[in-house]
Amino acid sequence: MRKRILAALISGVMLAASLTACSDSATTSSVEESSTVSVSSTEESSTESEESSVPETDAPETEAPETDAPETDPPETDAPETSAPEKEPETDTKTALEFAQQLMPGWNLGNQLEAVSGSTPSETAWGNPTITEDIILAVKDAGFKSVRIPVSYLSKIGEGPTYTVDAAWLDRIAEVVDMCVDNGMYAIINMHGDGYHSISGGWLLCDADNQTEITDKYGKVWAQIADKFKDYDEHLIFESMNEEFDGSYGAINNEYYENINTYNQTFVDNVRAAGGYNAKRYLLCPGWNTDINATTENETFRVPEDSEGRVMVSVHYYDPYEFCLKESAKGIVRWGEALAGQNKKTTWGDETYLDEQFDKLYDKFISKGIPVIIGEYGTIDKSSFDERNTIYRAYYAEYVNYAASQRQIVTVMWDNGYNGVYGHAVFSRNTCEQTQPEIIAGIMRGVNADSAPKAPTD
């Protein structure tokens, strides 16, 4: 997501950098929404520790039962001492689809580690407070199983030919990952803003001329990230990039699309070669702009080759755009076929359309055993224009998660930390309280539902 990044930078939201999250003394900060979306319509959208440790396994600690037998020393033998073999990753016993379901539902820690000041990543640059474990615990308590952590690198990458990533930045990423995996959650980290044309210092550009240099840099950066996290088990997933495309919402340039395929394969190859758990880690790769149509219907997209068969496909879903993201569409505040003919909703993008889009994902990938993660979805807050907007946002979230669950698709809701008009947040980053409990409840109902939710009507 990168909507209104420039506006966020110009408006000086860096005043919130001194805030501490979820503390009694924290004051409410205003964060500009950052978003670029993939839409299947022709509308253009221009949105947007210090020591790492091996995460604990989920195996419970057990003690041997007490007995009345007297204690005795074991008999001496000449057998050499042996050490217990290393435990194989838990995912070895699961199919890829079974593994992916453990991440459902997920939540985005958006506008934090991908936030930038100029070309320098800074987690408070867009108005959110410093990340603490409290927000992660609040997300877990609400029922979410995974946290997607968007990350930008940009000026944290040194000059070639080594492209050394700043060690302190990797340490901070590890601290945030630890907040998730140490509490039994799954974490997804990616390379987020480095591929944006609208970000100063963006370099992972599929339409640039110097593709050999870009691919070399990309592979070396991912090799360092993978080495940093090589001792983390399957609770950490890597995502190759975010909304990578040429910035145009017109016809897809298949030459540029091939460059995206090259990035994805380079990502897989470098992670697999980095050692440790990376040999079996689950990896997530998008197609053109994480767009469902461009990923399922354009034959240029290829799932990267992987001897482990552990590559998952990433897409985003923000349809209909007018309801989900378009701020200027102040009158489009409701959603669903039950409201046919009303001028408060769009004429497209209702439940039938959503089912058709998700069927494309099932037929193309899931039916073949390849997991799909909708890494972002959600709706902006227009309740100031219609008091029933929250009801329809909650219904939308419920239906998305119901339809996804029926097809074994994983969802990860976008939350940028901003509460207010056009906000995407369902939690306060300052107090860690739920700000949109109706939407969170809708998500959880949808995930567990056996039948489609009942649409609200007037």
Would you name the residues annotated as active-site residues? 243, 376
Distance CA 190, CA 244 (A): 12
Give the three-state DSSP class for 266.
helix
215, two tokens: 């691919």
Residue pair 344/386 in contact (Cβ under 8 Å)? The answer is yes
Residue pair 456/409 in contact (Cβ under 8 Å)? The answer is no
Distance CA 8, CA 32 (A): 5
CA distances from 121 to 34, 89, 111 (A): 14, 33, 10
Beta bridge partners of 364: none
Distant-in-sequence, close-in-space partners of 254: CB < 8 Å, separation ≥ 6? 298, 300
Distance CA 417, CA 14 (A): 14
Residue pair 55/246 in contact (Cβ under 8 Å)? The answer is no
Q: Amino acid identity of 270?
A: N
CA distances from 124 to 4, 16, 21, 42 (A): 16, 7, 10, 34
Stated as kind and residue range, the H or E segment containing 377 is: strand 372-377
Instruction: Provide φ and ψ at 285, rounded to 5°.
Output: -130, 135
